Structure 1
């Protein structure tokens, strides 16, 4: 055993799991811990403008690095972050949420303090946050070693956020901690169950006539992607994806058959998937937006599902399995295909720029697609941006970040900040509508302060376009104030290197994209669009959502 302080022990554990930035907001109950962060090596604090944005940024960091860290203060801070924490829970993103708490003696004696309800109850905040985390705890000098390790193991294993309250008077106390390093590896499989599962998968595959892999979020979250990529290429296994699993595997590979979305699937995809006699899945979660309003049909007897710690084959469960070990064995043992699938899909035809044509959604996204290149991080805001980009196949290696399930608008601006903090060497492209941007705009200042260099495409259509198409096409409640967006980088940082651009025509956008193709600075590109223009998918989505939300007697847009 060795001796260290509680704060230093927590920081050592965070560094051990790959965290080099803790994102958050100072508050009096976390200042003692912040002093220790400032004194530590290889880890630092990155302050944001508010706790909600910090939670979004920690989520973006985790999507790039594998885990993120958030720091808030008791009550007012941690509750302000709860929407972002809930989003990480919904989207299966591992985030370690830390909150400075009142002194331990005050907590134990029920003192009535600021940032509380002044009722002496110190369970209510943990109770609230526990609904949206895999674990919510308060540490003490007596339990901190066991509880921190339990929380981090839970976060990494379950791919869910955890929340840890740290009393303000304990961080500088000394404790004894283990000499050995923190072990981030998952437990090994039961050998017999592993062998039995592998045999069962290969037996089913050997008799299947049209096996298909279905990719969703958990393919990425549980680090299955690389092994599935090996299996797909070796066996020449066709694959599809849910909208919530976009671009996890290469969308331009000839083995990719298109996105499955129930009755709203790409042409021919629903029929192909639902007729398959063997579908490999990775814990798909079907909600109305990725299932064609629940028109999906996957027969249990034809399904092999890879969970994080189990596998089910036609309804039979194999537990006690580290699925990564199972996939490694399958990658080794799966028979190699005798011939390679040739690409049956026609190449995308070139789109000639109409120099003076106004920007319109029916042509905008095809023009943008030419600008996206391999290994980019593409961050698409829920709504217009995601719907506009979704139909287009991303280049190989693109990481596509959005919030398909939680869908909290404003998420992506702080998320791109967190993602680029975690990996500043990858080019980041953000596509965000003006309504979403206004919700979390303050974090543009943190992006500039940290000298990050994303290319931000701001869709200025003067309102909530997705809401317009659901209801209230011309109603004032869907309008927003039209800002001078291009001026904002210099408002937030007078000497910023980020450059602002504005495009109203295809020709103007083409010139901007040409300049940015070799730029080494951040960019803010305002795209001026008609308030009533939208991608074709959004025009269909709006009325369907109105039917679903309002029932047969509810209001509708006038046709």
Structure 2
């Protein structure tokens, strides 16, 4: 069929499930935006800046399966690069589209704005390439081939890709296939699939202490639901890494807790490290999810499931589509009866009263959460506070445990709720992180979304204080009138603001929020030096790791 370059790209984005493209207009992408404006079934959502747009596209992808970002050449692309790098680190499929200067200008090396005015138009792609799986500038001659290659790679590898679209080619006519984009993975090599399944089942049959250890790649590649079915059929207990929180239900009878090296939940470390059938999903151990590299899996018999390969105690199987392997294991694994378990004892501790404290706040906020909520936790106090709490069934938990760029979660909430508007979204964010991306609250309100935003106001960077500088002003920030911001950004907003300094005020605010379908902005006032127990331990360990024996210390 005949179509234009821009229309073909939009059709392909719709083929993979994208209905919103998030970004910032610029002169080199306006021709494409005209086509996006006129397209059916897909629309543009403007963000306040490119970094926020990249964060939002990441959040969108976590809930929809893939996201799309639109920027302009140079200034826009590089402004978004931190967010794109975060998607790379966290294995999130984002299609980044950069409006580029006209093709003739790049071919003849004209000196242009948004460039270094030296005729070099390769440098932006070279800057972005290390953080993407594909980085390409398309032309009318290669648009079909390169766009399809980029999108298939994005979905297969679960990594961002970047497509530069010259401003003068978007309306040019090309020949393009009429069929929707086929994104299915190729079938496994039959012999390798059978060999891998037989070897894993052989090890499972001998195992006395089987265990699943879940990390984020299980979610990225769609393994969580089938792994849960395997665990339930074969009665295999499971643990999670802190970077894989709530991917499998934490209230499940087979769940044993979080593995974090020496900082693991009680009893979890020994069970994980001495399992004779430990199924992992390409775990990536960094200092924050390994108890400062105190993880030791040398004594475990590890069955690792990658996206296109598997290994069993050091024996490798390639040529696999691993979802087919897991399905084969589910079909052939022996079914074992569930072991009756004593229900966990319930406590009826009195509701906390008086000024808010971190120790009592997080258990209360965990009880506020509902099954099927989307919970977004900012790096630092919020994530560490929630990490120790058991979340309800089917909660989707969004955070950035590896990249850890603060400010990510407010725009990510925008993106996630655009992707799944029917689910309740609850964001937990600190005041310091909020100030980095606060303007995206205006986009949330403009789009008439209704998240519950819980802001921890502890007058600065408490996590940094526990690393270094507890009393130093470099960890302080200007206190804002946070509750006034919804009406500042949108005077007729339906979002309601609440503030609490005590648990009595918190209960009153939560009751009002529960009884309303409107969005909520809840500001919680906490002492600057108060922190969850996990953060108090994390700070000194980080200082020791970062600064060494001659470095500065907290008092």
Question: What TM-score bracket applies, with the shorter chain setting the length?
Answer: over 0.9
Distance in 2 between residues matched to 1:416 and 1:348, nearest whole Å? 33
Correspondence for 1:380: 377
1:410 aligns with 2:407: yes
Alignment-derived partner of residue 523 in structure 1: 520
Equivalent residue number for residue 65 of structure 2: 66
Distance 2:536 2:170 in 1: 54
Contact 2:352 2:360 in 1 (8 A): no
Tell me if structure 2 keeps the 8 A contact 1:448–1:493: yes
Aligned ranges 1:1-80 → 2 under 5 Å: 2-80=1-79
Secondary structure class of the residue paired with 1:279: strand
Question: Could you tell me which residue of structure 1 aligns to residue 500 of structure 2?
Answer: 503
1:542 aligns with 2:539: yes
2:110 corresponding residue in structure 1: 111
In the alignment, what sits opposite 1:485? 482
Residues 191-230 of structure 1 aligned to structure 2 (within 5 Å): 191-230=190-229
Q: Give 5+ residue unaligned stretches, structure 2.
A: none
Aligned equivalents of 2:159, 2:437: Cα separation in 1: 23
SS in 1 for 2:28: helix
Alignment partners' CA distance in 2, 1:343 and 1:442 = 49
Confirm whether residue 401 of structure 1 aligns to residue 371 of structure 2: no
Change in Cα spacing, 1:239 to 1:301, as seen in structure 2 (3 Å) is closer
Question: Cα–Cα, structure 1 residues 381 and 397, in superposed 2: closer, same or farther, change >3 Å?
Answer: same
- What's the Cα RMSD here? 0.9
Q: TM-score, normalised by structure 2?
A: 0.99
1:172 is matched with which residue? 171
The CA distance in 2 between the partners of 1:300 and 1:33, in whole Å, is 56
In 2: Cα distance, 1:301 partner to 1:257 partner: 17
2:350 to 327, 348, 352: 352
Deviation string, structure 1 residues 259-311 (Cα, Å, up to 9, x no partner): 00000001111011111111000000000000001010112761000000010
Match of 1:452 in 2: 449
Q: List structure 1 runs of 4+ shifted beyond 3 angstroms.
A: 342-345
Moved more, 505-514 or 40-49: 505-514
- 2:60, 2:67 within 8 Å by CA — same for their partners in 1? yes
The alignment partner of 1:129 has SS state of helix
CA distance in 2, matches of 1:384, 1:395: 20
> Residue 539 of structure 2: SS of its match in structure 1?
helix
Change (3 A) 1:418 1:515: same
User: Any residues of structure 2 matched to 1:253-272 within 5 Å, and which?
Assistant: 253-272=252-271
Structure 1 residues 113-145: Cα deviation after superposition (integer angstroms, max 9, x where no partner): 000000100110000000101110000000000
In 2, the alpha carbon distance for the partners of 1:227 and 1:447 equals 34
Matched, 1:341 2:339: yes
What is the aligned partner in structure 2 of residue 142 from structure 1?
141
The answer to whether the 8 Å contact 2:111/2:118 transfers is: yes
Q: Secondary structure at the match of 2:356?
A: coil
The structure-2 alpha-carbon separation of the partners of 1:413 and 1:487, relative to structure 1 and needing over 3 Å to count, comes to: same
Q: CA–CA distance in 2 between the matches of 1:555 and 1:348?
A: 44
**Does the 8 A contact of 1:384 with 1:466 survive in 2?**
yes
Relative distance call for 1:56 and 1:507 in structure 2 (3 A) is same
CA offset at residue 354 of structure 1? 3.3
Q: Distance in 2 between matches of 1:354 and 1:369?
A: 14
Aligned to 2:277: 278
Contact kept, 8 Å, 1:254 with 1:341, in 2: the verdict is no
CA–CA separation in structure 1 for the residues paired with 2:518 and 2:14: 30
The reply to whether residue 463 of structure 1 matches residue 432 of structure 2 is no
**CA 89–353 in structure 1, closer or farther in 2 if over 3 Å, else same:** same
Distance 2:330 2:305 in 1: 14
1:348 is displaced (CA, Å) by 4.8
Runs (5+) with no aligned partner, structure 1? none
1:364 aligned partner? 361
- Call closer, same or farther: CA 1:433–1:257 in 2, change over 3 Å: same
Counterpart of 2:422 (choices 421, 425, 431) is: 425
Q: Return the alpha-carbon distance in structure 2 between the equivalents of residues 10 and 351 of structure 1.
A: 57
Counterpart residue number, 1:250: 249
Question: Which residue pairs with 1:321 in the alignment?
Answer: 320
Bigger Cα displacement from structure 2, 224-233 vs 19-28? 224-233
Partner-residue secondary structure (3-state), 2:382: helix
- The verdict on how the C-alpha distance between 1:462 and 1:249 changes in structure 2, with shifts beyond 3 A counting, is same
Residue pair 1:255, 1:341 contacting (<8 A) in 2 also: no
- Distance between the aligned counterparts of 2:201 and 2:447, measured in 1? 50
Q: Does structure 1 retain, via aligned residues, the 8 Å contact 2:274–2:300? A: no
Whether the 8 Å contact between 1:300 and 1:314 is mirrored in structure 2 is: no
Moved more, 346-355 or 272-281: 346-355
Q: Assess, with a 3 A threshold, how the Cα gap between structure 1 residues 235 and 155 changes in structure 2: closer, same or farther.
A: same
Q: Alpha-carbon deviation of 1:238?
A: 0.3
Deviations 1:163-201 (A, max 9, x none): 000000000000000122111111111111111111111
Report the alpha carbon displacement of residue 350 of structure 1 after superposing the two structures with TM.
3.5
CA gap of 1:127–1:268, structure 2 versus 1, over 3 A, is same
Deviation at 1:349, TM superposition (A): 2.3
For residues 445-502 of structure 1, the C-alpha deviation after alignment (integer angstroms, 9 at most, x for no partner) is 0000000000000000000000000000010000000000000000000000000000
Matched, 1:101 2:100: yes
> What is the rounded CA distance, in whole Å, between the counterparts of 1:126 and 1:330 in structure 2?
42
Q: Take 2:140 and 2:438, find their aligned partners in 1: how far apart are those partners?
A: 40
- Return the offset for 1:341: 2.9
Distance 1:134 1:361 in 2: 41
Distance of aligned partners of 1:91 and 1:348 in 2 relative to their CA distance in 1, 3 Å threshold:
farther
Instruction: Tell me, yes or no, if the aligned pair for 1:250 and 1:396 is still in contact at 8 Å.
Output: yes
Shift of 1:344: 4.6
Q: Distance in 2 between matches of 1:347 and 1:166?
A: 60
Q: What secondary structure sits across from 1:180 in the alignment?
A: coil
SS of aligned partner of 1:165: strand
SS, match of residue 6 in structure 2 = helix
2: distance between equivalents of 1:300 and 1:154?
A: 36
